[in-house]
Structure formats: C-alpha cells, structure tokens
Chains A and B, each alone.
Chain A
Amino acid sequence: MSVWRDVVMDEVLKRVLEAEEEARRIIEEAHEEARRIEAEARRIAEERARAVYDEVMREAEREAEREVKKIEEEMVQEIKRLEEDALTEMKRLEFLATRNREKAVKLLLAEVLRP
C-alpha cells in the first residue's frame, strides 16, 4: 500500500513539476514577446518621430518661403512706389523750373555783373 502510494505521489509530483515548467516557459515566452514588442515599438517610434519631424519642418520651410516671398513682393512694391514718387517729383520740379527759370536767370545775371 505504501509503495503504491509513493508511486502515485511521484507521478503527481512529476506532473506538477512539468506543469510548473510549462507555466515558466509560457511566461518566459511572454516576456520574450514583450521585449520584442518593446524593441519594435522603439523602432516604430523612431521612424514615426522622424517622419513627423520631417513633415513639420517641410511645412515650416514652405511657410517660411511663402512669408519671404510675400515680404519680397511688398519690398518690390515699396521700391516701385518710391521710384514712381520720385518721377512725379521730377516732373513737378521740371514744371516749376521751366515756369520760374527766367526769374532765376535775372537774379543770377544781376549778381554776376556786380562784384
């Protein structure tokens, strides 16, 4: 009876140990899978971060170019206005000079013949 019981107990222990071993293996595999997921996450994170960074910077470049272009166009307009104003002023001066020329010549003439 005692021998029979020992045999049964050994068998029970053996099954339990095997089960525990299987359980450890399952958990170890899970940990292994978790590490793989973690590594994959790092790779994906790096890849997506780079993509997001590049996209944001590309958009920034485009916006900066739009801003620069706008400022340059304003600059061209401002310079054009300056030149147009100068041309108008020249015409005005020319008109006045033509109208007042005789008077100015008289004054100067009188002065150069008087020491």
Chain B
Amino acid sequence: MPLAGDLDKLVNAVLSKAKEEAESIIAKAKEEAEKYIKSVVEESRRKAEKEASGLIRKRRSEALSKRRSEVARARTDVTRELLGFKEKLIEGVVEEVKREVQAIVRTKEYEERLVDMIKEAVRVLGGGVVEVKLNKRDRDLGLDLTAIASELSQELGKPVELRLASEPGNFTGGLIAKSLEAGIEVDYTVEGILERKWKRLRSEVAKILFSES
C-alpha cells in the first residue's frame, strides 16, 4: 500500500507539473497575443497618422495653391476691369472733344485756325505746288487759297501754289497737304494730330482727369 500511495503521488506530480506547464504555455501565449495585437494596432495607428498628416498637408497645400491662383486671377480681372473703366472715361473725353470740334468748326475762330494750319503745312513742305485736302464742310467755307499762297510765297521767298484736292476728305476737321513736286504729305487733320499726340496727351489727360486736387 505504501508503494501504491507513492506511485499515485508520483503520477499526480507528473500530471500536475504538466498541467502547470500547459497553463504557463497558454498564459504566455495569451500575453504575447495581447502584446502582438497592441503592437500591430499601434503600428497601424502610427502609419495611418503619418499618412493622414501627409493627406491633410497635401489637401491644404492644393487648396492654398488654388486660392492663390484664383485670387491672382481675380486681381488680374479686377485690374483689367479698372483699366478698362479708366480707358472708357478717357475715351469719353476724346468723344467730347470730337463733339466740341464739331461745334467749333462752325466758328470764325476755327476758320482762322484752319488758315494757320494750312500755312504751317506749306512751311513744313517748303512751298511749291501743294494740294490741300479739306472735308466737305471746310471746302464750303470758301477759303481764299490764292491769297494764302501769295502770303506764304512772300514769307518763304519762293513760289507757292495751293490747289484744292478734287475729292473732299473724310475727317472731322483740319487738312491734309501734299507737295505735288516732292510727293510728301502732312496730315493736320484733327484725327491725325490726335493720333500723333495721343501717346503724350493720354497720360496728361489721365493725370488731369483723375487728379485729386
């Protein structure tokens, strides 16, 4: 009996030790499983947070870039619109000047100006035979071209002959004079003068028009 009791103890001890070891194996496996899950989840979170940060940065950068581009375009549009508006106001002055010219050309003062312009044109051309082109209305003024030519002839000390062009000119006022000997032409029409002077005058007109004082 004592032998049998010892044997039972031995068998129980072997089984008990095996159970302890088994429990230990399972406990360790569970512990490692917990650690593994935690580690994988944390790694995934780190990876996601890094990607998320990159995603937000990229979207923000794209949005800021779009904003810069749209605002720049709007600024350009607004500037263009403002320039157009200013141009329109300046053009308004030109249009008014043209209307004023229409009124002035009916005055004696204009007639005197026209004669001065013819004389100036002949001086520039150096005399000789000069063809003068006027618009239809100015042709009807009945300017004494012979008298003007005579005066210029004396002034220049050489012969001057003024001939009215066969066709009227299509311009607001002023004239086109052409030296028939030299083939040179001077444009003293209102439109021609305005065109030549416009580059300088435009900035002067703008300066006056938009002056605060």
A49 x B41 contact (CB < 8 A): yes
Size of interface on B: residues with Cβ below 8 Å to A: 82
Chain B residues whose C-beta falls within 8 Å of the C-beta of A24 in the assembled complex: 18
A112 x B193 contact (CB < 8 A): yes
CA distance A68 to B57 in the complex (A): 10
A interface: dominant SS? helix
Tell whether B117 is near chain A: CB-to-CB under 8 Å. yes
Chain B residues whose C-beta falls within 8 Å of the C-beta of A63 in the assembled complex: 52, 56
A interface, CB within 8 angstroms of B: 8, 12, 15-16, 18-20, 22-24, 26-27, 29-31, 33-35, 37-38, 40-42, 44-46, 48-50, 52-53, 56-57, 59-61, 63-65, 67-68, 71-72, 74-75, 78-79, 82-83, 85-86, 89-90, 93-94, 96-97, 100-101, 103-105, 107-109, 111-115
CA distance A21 to B186 in the complex (A): 128
Of residues 49 to 103 in B, which have CB atoms within 8 Å of A's CB atoms?
49, 51-53, 55-56, 59-60, 62-64, 66-67, 70-71, 74-75, 78, 81-82, 85-86, 89, 92-94, 96-97, 100-101
A115 x B26 contact (CB < 8 A): no
Out of B14, B43, B71, B110, name the residue touching A113 (CB < 8 Å).
B110
Q: B113: nearest residue on chain A (CB-CB)? A: A113
Out of A19, A64, A86, A90, name the residue touching B55 (CB < 8 Å).
A64
Tell whether B108 is near chain A: CB-to-CB under 8 Å. no
**Contact digits for B182-206, partner A, Cβ 8 Å, 1 yes 0 no:** 0000101010011001000100110
What are 12 A-B contacts defined by CB distance under 8 Å? A19-B14, A23-B18, A30-B25, A41-B37, A59-B52, A63-B52, A72-B63, A83-B74, A83-B78, A86-B82, A100-B209, A107-B201
